[in-house]
A and B are shown apart, each in its own frame.
Chain A
């Protein structure tokens, strides 16, 4: 460190070396993320070799389509929108110690109600108002859907893993029933909801195909992160998560907070569904279930429920899923390989975190 920068550094931070230390820390974190991904790619590559596909060609397509081609990166960023909302919802629930594993049901019901209401509403009110209304409807429906698990957990202590899992099975079926029987578009033979015209959907960003839902998603996850880390309300939720009994002794209204957590978490999952429909898909086909929730759950854990880290992991998931879809099409591998790739990446990242943790411990000791 040169002499004339030292005083300014010590003026901004108490420890003059902290600037360099955090930089090294960031570098190490980056290395600890990219290294495992590389290892995971090698392992997955061996599987590709085993089934007779050239892994380099596959990864080439993944990178080209998911990251480097203009159209591909736009699709990747568009895919991020619903995933960010889901991740935001999970961060609230997990930080408050509640296992909301019902994200997919809440997502689908939000999607179906948004798909049902938006095409009707745009005919009777200005477009922007119609979209806001359908977002709200989707959010409220998802919130209501989470009410039973929330009440059971808050007042009866029934484990929410069971109830949310069951509600997600119920929700998936109910969404299908709604598409097939209630909201079915009479104009088509395929069971699906009425399609929202492209110019009525969420506007795209500038001259790209990226949905402005991306900005909404980013805003949602950053707000959630700030609320959870910087506000009294967030602190209360984290206390409930850390130790519910201590929270009761601290005078917190745990049942009320529990219901609030479920409502926020499910509401965000419902918004995820709405943003996917109103921004991208335009309608819901019967039996449509992208099951985003299942892949987002481990990603949120690996991000340690940190909103900014979760954005990174969601980006990674999107690159893999968009790039994987394209690579699979071009090389004649079924798209299912993406699942294998995501799974290996998750496991190796979890392992790397463990190794990192142990290394730090042994250095301290």
Chain B
């Protein structure tokens, strides 16, 4: 048992937690923006898968991680474009289209993987870490938090950028209004459909980026169904965060620790089915909800397509 609590082990555990948390963070931030604008984006799992696949393909053929992130985000946006067209522009049911997109992308990416990579299962080399001077010398915490790929720091910075966006900018207010009272936004002369489209496309970009990170940095390869419910976790995080980006970060880290613990337990040879540990974060959140559950402050028009003049 001494090995379990050694410095090296602990920092590896935390390092893994951050790596596992980043895709959830990006998905959660994206979903949060959609929900603020009144679109319940259940297709986010599909967007992440598109991002994971295209991100891997981009990195694999170009040899550049950054290009992979770009193609991954583009893949997420492409799926989001369908969602925006069908659910925002012409107002189809968001749950039907969201689930259909998730199912379709699950199938499509698995299919493409089968024809492209299923014989060789190629891997990417380990991602370069950006080591932050001084901070990374702190024992335990240093190697855990300050030796990650640059995109990790950017993702954390994005949390604060989002906070600023929602609190201090016109666009942030418009997004909020599009979800709370779209008719009022319309009367104020702002295009509701365009505002919501911006939100959905941003969600796609973030989810795609999260997927690309998951495949390229987290796993180093693409396998079918690699996201394994990360998008749905993103939805949970966004709803629990009640519109505040910082809470998405905390939530993502909590889930990240539990996911990392699953791997760590296996490495340490502790004989509990991984399913038990996988239950921990959900159990924690459910207990929190039972103890402190209050009315979730969801946008009033969440899930309702906006049609001008409709009552």
Within 8 A of B (CB), among A334-356: 334, 336-344, 346-347, 350-351, 354
Per-residue CB contact flags for chain B residues 254-283 toward chain A (1 = under 8 Å, else 0) read 000000000000000000010110110011
Query: Quick check: A298 and B236 within 8 Å, CB to CB?
Result: no
In the complex, whether B102 has a CB less than 8 A from a CB of chain A is yes
Query: Quick check: B296 and A157 within 8 Å, CB to CB?
Result: yes
Per-residue CB contact flags for chain B residues 67-110 toward chain A (1 = under 8 Å, else 0) read 00000000000000000001000111101110111111111101
Within 8 A of B (CB), among A190-225: none
Query: Quick check: A176 and B273 within 8 Å, CB to CB?
Result: yes
Chain B nearest CB from A331 CB (Å) reads 12
Q: Quick one: which of B97, B111, B224, B298 has the most chain A CB within 10 A?
A: B111
Q: Give A156 to B285 CA distance when docked, in angstroms.
A: 15
Per-residue CB contact flags for chain A residues 160-181 toward chain B (1 = under 8 Å, else 0) read 0111011101100110110011
Q: Give A302 to B100 CA distance when docked, in angstroms.
A: 12
Query: Quick check: A346 and B111 within 8 Å, CB to CB?
Result: no
Query: Quick check: A336 and B114 within 8 Å, CB to CB?
Result: yes
Query: Quick check: A347 and B97 within 8 Å, CB to CB?
Result: yes
A293, closest chain B residue (CB):
B99
Query: Quick check: A294 and B239 within 8 Å, CB to CB?
Result: no
Chain A residues lying within 8 Å of B102, measured Cβ to Cβ, are: 294
In the complex, whether A1 has a CB less than 8 A from a CB of chain B is no
Contact A340 B296, CB 8 Å, known A180-B275, A297-B95, A347-B86: no
In the complex, whether A309 has a CB less than 8 A from a CB of chain B is no
- Do most interface residues of chain A lie in helix, strand or loop, or is the interface mixed? helix
Query: Quick check: A166 and B285 within 8 Å, CB to CB?
Result: yes
Q: Give A354 to B105 CA distance when docked, in angstroms.
A: 23
Chain A nearest CB from B35 CB (Å) reads 10
A-B contact count (CB 8 A): 146
Query: Quick check: B100 and A162 within 8 Å, CB to CB?
Result: no
In the complex, whether A333 has a CB less than 8 A from a CB of chain B is yes
In the complex, whether B8 has a CB less than 8 A from a CB of chain A is no
Contact A173 B278, CB 8 Å, known A297-B99, A351-B92: yes
Q: Give A133 to B276 CA distance when docked, in angstroms.
A: 29
Partner of B92, one of A159, A344, A350: A350
In the complex, whether B5 has a CB less than 8 A from a CB of chain A is no
Q: Quick one: which of B96, B233, B295, B298 has the most chain A CB within 10 A?
A: B96
Q: Give A173 to B276 CA distance when docked, in angstroms.
A: 7
In the complex, whether B311 has a CB less than 8 A from a CB of chain A is no
Chain B residues lying within 8 Å of A52, measured Cβ to Cβ, are: 115
Contact A51 B286, CB 8 Å, known A180-B275, A298-B99, A350-B92: no
Chain B residues lying within 8 Å of A47, measured Cβ to Cβ, are: 108, 111
Chain B nearest CB from A39 CB (Å) reads 15
Q: Give A336 to B285 CA distance when docked, in angstroms.
A: 33
Query: Quick check: A51 and B92 within 8 Å, CB to CB?
Result: no
In the complex, whether B24 has a CB less than 8 A from a CB of chain A is no
Query: Quick check: A340 and B100 within 8 Å, CB to CB?
Result: no
Query: Quick check: B286 and A344 within 8 Å, CB to CB?
Result: no
Query: Quick check: A340 and B111 within 8 Å, CB to CB?
Result: yes
A301, closest chain B residue (CB):
B96
Q: Give A297 to B94 CA distance when docked, in angstroms.
A: 12
Enumerate chain A interface residues (CB-CB to B < 8 A): 47, 51-52, 99, 148, 152, 156-159, 161-163, 165-167, 169-170, 173-174, 176-177, 180-181, 294-295, 297-298, 301-302, 333-334, 336-344, 346-347, 350-351, 354
Sample (23) of A-B pairs whose CB atoms are under 8 Å apart: A52-B115, A152-B289, A156-B293, A156-B294, A157-B296, A162-B236, A169-B229, A169-B232, A174-B279, A176-B273, A180-B273, A181-B273, A301-B95, A334-B110, A336-B106, A336-B107, A336-B111, A338-B107, A342-B103, A343-B100, A343-B107, A350-B92, A350-B93
With A157-B296, A297-B95 given, name 17 new contacts (CB 8 A).
A148-B290, A156-B295, A158-B296, A161-B235, A163-B286, A169-B279, A170-B279, A170-B286, A294-B102, A301-B96, A333-B114, A336-B114, A342-B100, A346-B96, A347-B97, A350-B93, A350-B96
